[in-house]
Amino acid sequence: MHVASVESLDTTILEAVIDTGGVDARVALAKQLCTLIAAEDTPESERLAVLPVMLKLAVDEERAVRVVLSEELATISNIHADLLFCVIAGEDELALPFLKATPSLGPWHMVAILRVGDEARQCTVASRHDITAEAAAYAIKNAPVPVVLTLMDNEVVKLEASDMQALYARLGQSGPLVDRLLALPNLPLDIRITQAKRTATRMRQLMAERSWLPANDASDLVADAEETAVLQVLVNASVDELLRAISFLAAKNLLTPALIIRAACLGEMRVVEASLAHLSGYAPAKAAALMYARNGMRSMVAKCGLPQSCSGVLAAFADVVMEAREEGLNLSRENFGRRLLEALMTRYETLAPHERAKQIEYVGRFAEERVRKIAKQLKMDIQRAA
């Protein structure tokens, strides 16, 4: 059948092609109409005139017609929204490749699909190389986990700290989403710390439900794992990140004496210094100067409001730090712990045996594993001698 010239824009003839023409005629008509609306010199009135015909072709009963139309339209800009959404609403095999490729998708189109489209279409929008800031922001605030994961795979999307905070607050119970967040090098430390706490809480609940360990033992084990995880976050932080993380911990009442002593027993100077600076209200440089001055640590402990029972091990920590600096040594956790034990055993004549045993008990709980064993044996020896 002969297809009427599109240039005549006799829509009656075009409608007749759809109603009475064969598949080949409708395929040819689809190609001609796409050529028409793609031409830069085509008046907008003519594009609007053929729109009803193209909408019918988009839902043609013959798949071959729909295939040609979707493929031809996939390279055309400024497609009318009605036609755009008509093709997008079609079968997935045609709609998703079209949605991925079409240059006609603008900010409001993307947001509309993210708002009402199914997951497959939402993911396709999230994966587009030209996804707009508005669409990405909408997905971060509202999209389900699979769509967010697709968005995070999109190389053009750069998540800001506020985006990560929003995602964690909304979807923090999703394991796959949390795993992806934790893999980000610029993830805010407060999220890492909060996640460490959540993991420990779940561990504690699981142990309680299944009676794996006595309650006290389970609680100690979980607390140990929790503090170790939090400390590792702090150890790996930059200077600015560390100060912000310490402030976060203090605001949440998580900057505990146990955490500070653990850091001291492992020789993590930056963490101890930042913690005491925050608690004392001193600038970091002033706090460090006071900590390492002669007999300065005891006054810092009082200023920070820490229990006086902490002062012995923290004073020994300060002494070992200063000696290592004078010797130009960068001590491993194990070697630091050994020197800490040596200091506690051979100095501080004013320490009563039970006080010395208490300080060594801290090392036996918080130091590196091999040092813990030595400390526990030393404590037993001191108690027997007493």
Quote the CA–CA distance of 47 and 80 in Å, as a whole number.
9
Q: Is the pLDDT of residue 357 over 60?
A: yes
Secondary structure (DSSP) of 233-261: HHHTS-HHHHHHHHHHHHHTT---HHHHH
- What single DSSP character describes residue 3? P
Quote the CA–CA distance of 110 and 130 in Å, as a whole number.
10
Q: How many CB atoms lie within 10 A of CB 48?
A: 11
Per-residue model confidence as pLDDT tens digits over 68-113: 999 999 999 999 999 999 999 999 999 999 999 999 999 999 999 9
The maximal CA–CA distance of the chain, rounded, in angstroms, is 112
Q: Is the pLDDT of residue 8 over 50?
A: no
Per-residue model confidence as pLDDT tens digits over 325-349: 999 999 999 999 999 999 999 998 8
Per-residue model confidence as pLDDT tens digits over 101-146: 999 999 999 999 999 999 999 999 999 999 999 999 999 999 999 9
Long-range contacts of the stretch 271-280 (C-beta < 8 A, 24+): 271/231, 271/234, 271/235, 271/242, 272/314, 272/317, 274/234, 274/242, 274/243, 274/246, 275/246, 276/300, 276/304, 278/243, 278/246, 278/247, 278/250, 279/250, 279/255, 279/303, 279/304, 279/305, 279/306, 280/304
Instruction: Note whether 18 and 50 are within 8 A (CB).
Output: no
Q: Is the pLDDT of residue 216 over 90?
A: no
- Mean pLDDT in residue range 19-41: 94
Percent of the chain whose pLDDT exceeds 90? 78
Cβ-based neighbours of 36, under 8 Å, separated by 6 or more:
6, 7, 42, 46, 47, 50
- pLDDT confidence of residue 247: 96
Quote the CA–CA distance of 91 and 56 in Å, as a whole number.
15
Closest by alpha carbon to 18, among 31, 9, 30, 32?
A: 30
pLDDT band of residue 6 (cuts 50, 70, 90) is: very low
- Mean pLDDT in residue range 281-293: 93
The dihedral sign for the CA sequence 236, 238, 243, 249: negative
- Mean pLDDT in residue range 208-218: 56
Considering the chain, what is the average pLDDT of its residues? 90
Domain boundaries, the chain: 6-155, 168-233, 256-385
Percent helix, percent strand, percent coil in the chain, to nearest 5:
75, 0, 25
Instruction: Note whether 340 and 363 are within 8 A (CB).
Output: yes
> What ranges make up the beta strands (E) of the chain?
none
Tokens 């699979």: give the residue. Answer: 146
